[in-house]
Amino acid sequence: MDYFIELFCSGLSRGAIYALIALGYTMVYGIIGLINFAHGEIYMIGAFTSFIVATVLSILGFPLLAIVALSGVAAAVWASAYGYTIEKIAYKPLRHAPRLSPLISAIGMSIFLQNYVLLAQTSDFLPFPELIPDFEFMEPIAHIVGSSDIVIFITTAVVMAVLTYVIKFTRIGKAMRATAQDRTMAMLVGINVNNIISATFIIGSALAAIGGLLIASHIGQINFYIGFLAGIKAFTAAVLGGIGSIPGAVLGSFILGLTESFATGYVSSDYEDVFAFSLLVLILLFKPSGLLGKAETQKV
């Protein structure tokens, strides 16, 4: 039973990380109907930024809490700057082009960013400082659930709550929903659609960067390629839940995280991806629009 709970907890924290990344995919898709394939790289850049800031601060002897907070903020800000710029350079000029063009541009951006980090940093794995210590009060259950799993889960829950509030109740949140539902009409009521699209990229990038910090500190190492698989997995989760749907992305992420965790624990880690993608195929067979996705309706 302990083993089951252990797998369950690690599945939840895995799902939480996927959710932080998947939200960016689903929000961008909801607003401009584009799969932003460079989103995994944003997460990777978030991890590198927090790595650099955390390393510098720990050399300077900052307390751990300050290191976590400052590197988190730095990662979110820096990654947002990348997300914002990517949209302006690679997608905005193609907004009226055929659908395939921005998709190809996104793949190009992804490859470019990987190679850029490879050249600017290194191809080796870098040891990531342990930002989340083992809490003393966790001692009795430490063999079942690790401190970092708890931190990841709680951080994600807080971030989700804030995001839900922003989207439901704030002016910018309402404008985002309106733009996602009907862009022409959003323009006609006076919403600056370009700003809303930028805001979406910024928010999605900040979330992915926080995910990057959490996972890097959990696993303990990073390199330029970590964004690729994490991006594919989070994208899978978003599609599983119904691309464009925010609750769908969260649900899909947890289902995927748990599936992988149990597959690894009870079968073999060699098969975790097989299970993950079989699940995707299975769900899409029965519900092509994803669990909470809406079937594409023709707009008049």
Partner 1 sequence: MLNLENVQAGYGNILALKNVSLNIQEGEIITLIGANGAGKSTTLMTISGVVTCRSGKILFQDKEIQKKSSDDIVKMGICQVPEGRHIFPQLTVKENLDMGAFLRNDKAEIKKDMDYVFSLFPILAERRNQDGGTLSGGEQQMLAMSRALMARPQLLLLDEPSMGLAPLVIKQIFEIIKQINKENNTTIFLVEQNANQALHIADRGYVIENGEITLTGPAKDLLSNQEVQKAYLGI
d(CA 108, CA 181): 28
Residue 295 within binding range of partner 1, rule CB under 8 A:
no
Minimum separation from the CB atom of position 183 to partner 1 (A): 10
Is residue 184 at the binding interface for partner 1, with CB under 8 A as the rule?
Answer: yes
x-marked contacts with partner 1 along 128-167 as a string, rule CB under 8 A: ----------------------------------------
- Kindly tell me which of 120 and 297 has the beta carbon lying closer to partner 1: 297
CA–CA gap between residue 296 and residue 300 (Å, rounded): 13
Q: Kindly tell me which residue out of 32, 175, 199, 249 binds partner 1, with binding defined by CB under 8 A.
A: 175
Residue 94 Cβ vs partner 1, minimum distance, rounded to whole Å: 15
Residue 124 DSSP class: S
Q: Residue 97: count other Cβ atoms within 10 Å of its Cβ.
A: 12
Residues 62/74, Cβ–Cβ less than 8 Å: no
Q: Is 187 in the site for partner 1 (CB under 8 A)?
A: yes
Query: Could you say whether residue 191 binds partner 1 (CB under 8 A)?
Result: yes
Nearest to 10 by CA among 277, 231, 255, 257: 257
What lies within 8 Å, CB to CB, of 242 at 6+ separation is: 248, 252, 289, 290, 291, 292, 293, 294
Nearest residue to 162 (alpha-carbon basis) of 44, 46, 20, 294? 20
Torsion angle, alpha carbons of 201, 203, 208, 212, to 10: 120
Q: Is residue 170 at the binding interface for partner 1, with CB under 8 A as the rule?
A: no
- Interface with partner 1 includes 98 (CB under 8 A)? no
Q: Which of 59, 189, 281, 295 binds partner 1 (CB under 8 A)?
A: 189
In whole angstroms, the minimum distance from the beta carbon of 174 to partner 1 comes to: 7
Among 1, 136, 190, 298, binds partner 1 (CB under 8 A): 190
> What DSSP string runs through 258-272?
HHHHHIIIII-GGGH
Stretch that binds partner 1, among 43-51, 144-152, 181-189, 217-225 (CB under 8 A): 181-189
- 3-state DSSP helix/strand/coil percent for the chain, to nearest 5? 80, 0, 20
CA–CA dist 199, 288 (Å, integer): 29
Stretch that binds partner 1, among 43-51, 182-190, 215-223, 278-286 (CB under 8 A): 182-190
Q: Does 181 bind partner 1 (CB under 8 A)?
A: yes
**Which secondary-structure segment (H or E) carries 280?**
helix 272-286
Choose between 19 and 196: whose C-beta lies nearer to partner 1. 196
Q: Output the smallest distance, CB 300 to partner 1, in A.
A: 4
185 is a site residue for partner 1 (CB under 8 A) = yes
Please return the burial class of 249, using the count of CB atoms within 10 Å of its CB with bins 0-12, 13-18 and 19+. Answer: buried
Residue with tokens 């510098």: 56
Nearer to partner 1 by Cβ, of 134 and 182: the residue is: 182
Q: What is the smallest separation between the CB atom of 169 and partner 1, expressed in angstroms? A: 11
**Binding to partner 1 by residue 238, rule CB under 8 A?**
no
Please, what is the minimum distance in Å from the beta carbon of residue 166 to partner 1?
15
Contact footprint for partner 1 (CB under 8 A) = 171, 174-175, 177-178, 181-182, 184-193, 300
